Amino acid sequence: MKAAIIGGGVIGGGWAARFLLNGWDVRIFDPDPQAQRKIGEVLDNARRSLPGLSDVPLPEEGRLSYHDTIKEAVQGADWIQESVPERLDVKHKVFAALQAACDPRAVIGSSTSGFKPSELQQGAVRPEQILVTHPFNPVYLLPLVELVGSAATSLDVIARACQILRELGMFPLHVKREIEAHIADRLLEVVWREALWLVKDGIATTEEIDNAIRYGFGIRWAQMGLFETYRIAGGEAGMKHFMAQFGPTLQLPWCKLTDVPEFTEDLVDLIAGQSDAQSGAHSIRELERIRDANLVGMMRALKQQNWGAGALLHAHDAQLRAGTVLEKRVADLPDPGQPILTLSRAVPLDWTDYNGHMTESRYLDAFTSATDRFMELLGCDADYIAAGGSYFTVETHICHLDEAKAGAHITVRTQLLLGEGKKLHLFHSMYEGDRLLATGEHFLLHVDLETRRPSAPGLQVAMALDRIARAQAALPRPKGAGRAIGDPR
């Protein structure tokens, strides 16, 4: 699949990263002589953060190319994303050039934050091909895309656009009726207007306003939105009680609403100065990295609860996993006589510590996942465990040999040292490419979950263990196996 990105600013670069890291070939047109440098920096940040949202590997990165003309850029493109400045005349010229050169079946999406699709389609030779696909920065992390069509937009284009966005791990919010600024920006505009008045009237500084959001309702909104948050505020009586209790306050003059202060030089200087004092110690790229790390941490925390954006990440992982060939049983392994691939994933940002590399506990986390995968291959899966059998870890020894940093793609290969009776002795080796990062030696006992005592495994598990044990019998004992702490062997 190919995507053409027209305009490589902050939003265009984010779109490029989202497509590229999900396996699409990306073709970029931007006349800015600094475009490659700017987009390259955005891609560096995306490569560091986006893979960490998934617990399965992303597809192989697509091919990136830059082109001197729109005509070259859109050749063979299945999706074309316009992210040029918010001037309707400029956008009309771009759409005319796009439609003169692109496949009539391609989706043409606009990143516009304010224009209606009917305004974008004016004068277009194929208006049904054009729709609004308004993302949020950073596009490579935040999943929301406001997808807006007009009466002229093809339903087939809308359906294909929704499908593609979901395949990219995004959430297409189909806005059924077109309106200026769509949904999200209209809500943001109300908060923005009131914030301007709070600063102008000397009630709060820019930092105090940001603190009110980041430490309060912003976190609630991140996982439940507005109405669901208010529903809970109503207690057991629910939304009706909330509205009865707080509805009358809407008649009170608590805020300025759409009464906007004049953008005088004094107001602009006041806000810019306060913002510099608040955030000027960090470069934009540093702020982006701080933002990305926070977003990944929050979204992965939501993933643990399978809630909000975290539920979407689970669905995307399931989609990625479905496209990956994973052997279900030992009999399906291509070569059980070699150490078995039991883990393949990226190191997420929240797995790193103050030294900038993977923290000690996460090595165990990774090796635990590898053990779980090995158990699954044996037939000790969810159904087997539900029936009353499992393996408990008795002893673990990890050797930390090299660093793994955020974004690194790590793999674990597992060798069976002993698999007979109740005993299971595994040796995991973790790599980044060919570089050995760590080893984990684990001794487990099969347990009857009803008695919580060691027991013999079921016949199918025992047979699978025997097959691997015989296949790997000729393998040399791995270096470090049986090593005690401080032992230089």
Q: Are residues 200 and 274 in the same domain?
A: yes
Paired with 174 in beta bridges are 147
Assess whether pLDDT exceeds 90 at residue 325: no
Q: Compute the distance between CA of residue 92 and CA of residue 94 in angstroms, rounded to an integer.
A: 5
Q: Among residues 182, 212, 241, which one ends one of the domains?
A: 182
Q: Which of 182, 203, 225 is the last residue of a domain?
A: 182
Same domain, 132 and 229: no
Count the domains in the chain: 3
Q: What is the dihedral of CA 444, 450, 456, 460, to 10 degrees?
A: -100
Under a CB-based contact definition with an 8 Å cutoff, are residues 146 and 184 in contact? yes
Structural domain boundaries, residue 25 = 2-182
Helix (H, G, I), strand (E, B) or coil at 110: strand
Determine, yes or no, domain membership for 124.
Answer: yes
Q: What is the pTM of this model?
A: 0.82
- 394 is a domain residue: yes
Structure tokens at 306: 């399978």
DSSP 36-97: HHHHHHHHHHHHHHGGGG-SSPPPPP--EEEESSHHHHTTT-SEEEE---S-HHHHHHHHHH
**345 and 451 share one domain:** yes
Q: Is residue 246 part of a domain?
A: yes
CA-wise closest residue to 206 among 287, 271, 291: 271
User: Which pLDDT band, with edges at 50, 70 and 90, does 327 fall under?
Assistant: confident
C-alpha dihedral over 273, 284, 165, 326, to 10 degrees?
-140
The DSSP line for 251-275 is GS----TT-PPP--HHHHHHHHHHH
CA Rg value for the chain: 27
- 264 and 380 in a single domain? The answer is no
In sequence order, the 6+-apart residues with CB closer than 8 A to the CB of 423 are 443, 444, 445, 446
pLDDT single digits (tens) 179-233: 999 999 999 999 999 999 999 999 999 999 999 998 888 888 888 888 888 888 8
20 plus 69 within the same structural domain: yes
- Mean pLDDT for 382-403 is 96
Work out the widest C-alpha separation in the chain, in whole angstroms. Answer: 81
In a domain, 52, yes or no: yes
Which domain-ending residue is among 156, 182, 208? 182
Lookup result for tokens 């943001």: 188
Do 137 and 119 belong together in one domain?
Answer: yes
- Domain CATH code at residue 429: 3.10.129.10
pLDDT band at residue 69, thresholds of 50, 70 and 90?
A: very high
* Average pLDDT score over residue span 323-340: 83
Instruction: Flag whether 477 is in a domain.
Output: no
Return the CATH number at 274: 1.10.1040.10
Q: Give the distance, in angstroms, between the CA of residue 198 and the centroid of all CA atoms in the same chain.
A: 34
Q: Name the DSSP class of 146.
A: E
Strand 107-110 relative to strand 130-134: parallel, antiparallel, unpaired? Answer: parallel
Confirm if 85 and 11 have CB atoms less than 8 A apart.
no
Q: Is residue 459 part of a domain?
A: yes
CA distance 68 to 304: 45
Across the chain, mean pLDDT equals: 92
* Residues 114-157 pLDDT 10s: 999 999 999 999 999 999 999 999 999 999 999 999 999 999 99
Residue 175 identity: V
177 and 209 inside one domain: no
458 DSSP assignment: P
pLDDT of the residue at 304? 87
In angstroms, the CA 441 to CA 418 distance is: 11
Residues 61 and 150 in one domain: yes
125 within domain boundaries: yes
**Res. 367 pLDDT band, cuts 50 70 90:** very high
User: Counting beta carbons within 10 angstroms of the beta carbon of residue 345, is it exposed (0 to 12), middle (13 to 18) or buried (19 or more)?
Assistant: buried
Residue 184 and residue 489: Cα distance in Å, rounded? 61
**438-482 pLDDT tens trace:** 999 999 999 999 999 999 999 999 999 999 999 999 999 999 899
Could you tell me what percentage of the chain is helix, strand and coil, using 3-state DSSP and rounding each to the nearest 5?
45, 20, 35
- The Cα 212–Cα 218 span in angstroms is 8
CATH of the domain at 138: 3.40.50.720
Annotated binding site for NAD(+): 7-12
Structural domain includes residue 164 = yes
Claim to verify: residue 254 and residue 394 sit in the same structural domain: no
Note whether 249 and 272 are same-domain residues.
Answer: yes
Share of the chain above pLDDT 90, in %: 72
- 23 and 104 share a domain? yes
Whether residues 43 and 155 share a domain: the answer is: yes
**Cα distance between residue 431 and residue 383, in whole Å:** 31
Contact 148, 177 (CB under 8 A): no
Residues 257-307 pLDDT 10s: 767 778 788 988 898 888 888 888 888 888 888 889 888 889 988 898 998
The span from the CA of 366 to the CA of 55, in Å, is: 10
Q: Is pLDDT of 484 > 90? A: no
